[in-house]
Amino acid sequence: MPVRDSHAAGHWLLIDDNEDLLASTLLRHENILLFPLMSSTNANEYLSDAEFRAWHGTLLFTHSAVRALDQALSTAHGISIKEFDVLITLFNAPDGRLRMTELAERVVLSASGVSQLVTRLERDGLVQRIVDAGDRRSFFAALTPAGHQRLRDSRPTHNEVIRDRLTRRLTPTQLKTLGTLWQAILDW
């Protein structure tokens, strides 16, 4: 459990050095990481305790879950989490295909990043590029039968990591509340 300590004009949060932290602007003092929480001179300079805990928890969970997903999918199925994301996004797309630019937007990769990823998946026989008949300069990405099979095989692994890292740790009420909170957060 984090410990609060008063330091100079503001409050600092002390956290064990053993925690996996994503923040890059940490102050280090004798194996303890110091996070400014609230400055008494400028309330907007630092996050409040509640803001920090919500933001930091989101970062830690995301990092931990993505790392666990990537490890499990790579070990069991020879694909990364990014590759799984492309496969499932194409599976869920209308007509089972997307223009490369649409795919890049949905999987949150740059156009060049998605192009390189699709090239690897195409080389492995999991995805194919289809020329857009309406605009021969443009391509669609679509799953191949082997891509469908790899997705079917890897889905249980993906779901087990999600259940292990998230859903089994919450009561049904907490899970429903979390879904409602994410809907509010993501509905800008």
What are the pLDDT digits (tens) for 71-126? 999 999 999 999 999 999 999 998 889 999 899 999 978 888 999 999 999 999 99
15 closest CA partner among 2, 31, 29, 24: 2
Burial class (CB in 10 A: 0-12, 13-18, 19+), 173: exposed
Let me know how long the chain is: 188
CA–CA distance, 107 with 86 (Å, rounded to integer):
7
Compute φ and ψ for 46, nearest 5 degrees. Answer: -125, 160
Chain position carrying tokens 């949905």 = 106
- Local mean pLDDT, 10-residue blocks, the chain (188 residues): 38 40 38 48 83 95 96 97 96 93 89 92 97 86 97 98 97 97 88
List beta partners, residue 140: 99, 130
Residue 119's pLDDT is: 95
Question: Full-prediction pTM beyond 0.75?
Answer: no
Residue 17's pLDDT is: 39
